[in-house]
Amino acid sequence: MIHYTFHLRDYRSILKDFAKKFHLEVIKKKVTLPPHMGKGYLFASNISEDISFVILNFSLKHDLLLSRIKTKDYGLTLSFNQIEISEFAKFKEMNEKVVDQGPRMNSIFLSSTNQDLEFSFSRDSEVRMVVIMFSPGLVRKCVKKDILIDLRMYTDRGLHNLNSEPITFEYRQWLDDIFNMNTDSELSGLILRNRILMLTEKFLVSFLEKDSHEAKIARKKIKAKDVRALREVEEILSNNNLDKFPSIEQLSRTAMMSSTKLKTKFKSIYGMKLYEYYNRHRLEKARGLLQSGEYSVKEVGLDIGFSNLSNFAKAFKKEFGILPNEMLRVK
């Protein structure tokens, strides 16, 4: 296994440290992997003093584990992940762990830098990632208080956000431009910066548009004790051993608030209704079980609480765009 631990700072410094550890050479902001490690490259650059990015475009002959050490203050990383998974992709943040067994991951993940994060990929996985870092100083100086509250509430969900934002066609066009670019050309630096900024702008505009004016007002009024209570409710709804959706009355008792208050405040923080959140989580569990190749569609549907397989197939396709049997891995 290739294991690299790094402290979050600008990605050009991290690339130089990576090259030094594995006795590689940085040429024009780029490290090309030698044949004994795999194939492909890592490229890192800066947009400004407070914004840097790294491009990962490779496959390795060994499993890879990357351990990111948290920053003291709150910054952000925004990653665009297009990964063909050979066996697994694993992510760990705080006490949460997500294992994706493929066959592919196409998602956008916004996370806070003041949390440790581990991510690992099995050998022969085709890794294509663009990761953009916004320093704590930039966030502190430039992000308005109301938007910062929204960002903190969003990133507090941790790995629950890992597969919540898909890479749409428009994103894919810009990412293809990045991965197909000759980074050695004179124009590449300018074009790369342009594409990175376009990716960032589109994501942030989309993020802000999702938060209605009413939701922002509601978030501002949420007290710390209510946030803690809502997290208890969220933990119940995301419990993999949950047989069925709990009653609203039961969840209200857990949160010690009225059902109306619970529904309103839960949606303002987590961006979806209680049942919608529960349903999305159990469908994510179903996808993982199907990808393992160890269970039939019927077994998975029953396991997550669907007695009617037609309803399971319909809900699964609505969430992921394909039928459950299309997700089964060929052994």
Which residues have C-beta within 8 Å of that of residue 129, sequence separation ≥ 6?
54, 55, 56, 79, 80, 81, 82, 83
Query: Which pLDDT belongs to residue 23?
Result: 95
Give the pLDDT confidence of 118-168 residue by residue, as tens digits.
Answer: 999 999 999 999 999 999 989 988 888 778 877 888 888 888 888 778 888
Could you tell me the pLDDT band of residue 95, with boundaries at 50, 70 and 90?
confident
pLDDT band at 170 (very low <50, low <70, confident <90, very high): confident
Q: Hey, where are the domains in the chain? A: 2-210, 213-271, 276-327
Of 10-14, 21-25, 160-164, the one with minimum mean pLDDT is 160-164
Instruction: Kindly tell me if the per-residue pLDDT of 34 is higher than 50.
Output: yes
Please state which CATH number belongs to domain 276-327.
1.10.10.60
Return the pLDDT at 190.
86
CATH fold group of domain 2-210 = Jelly Rolls (2.60.120)
pLDDT tens track for 200-257: 999 988 887 765 454 555 555 566 677 778 878 888 887 877 878 999 999 999 989 9
Give pLDDT, residue 110. 94
Mean per-residue pLDDT of the chain: 86
For the residues of 69-84, what is the DSSP string, one character each?
EPPSS--EEEEEEEEE
Report long-range pairs for 288-291 (Cβ below 8 Å, ≥24 apart).
Answer: 288/99, 288/100, 288/101, 290/324, 290/327, 290/328, 290/329, 291/100, 291/101, 291/102, 291/103, 291/327, 291/329
Beta bridge partners of 120: 65, 90
pLDDT of residue 224: 65
pLDDT > 70 fraction of the chain, expressed in percent and rounded = 93
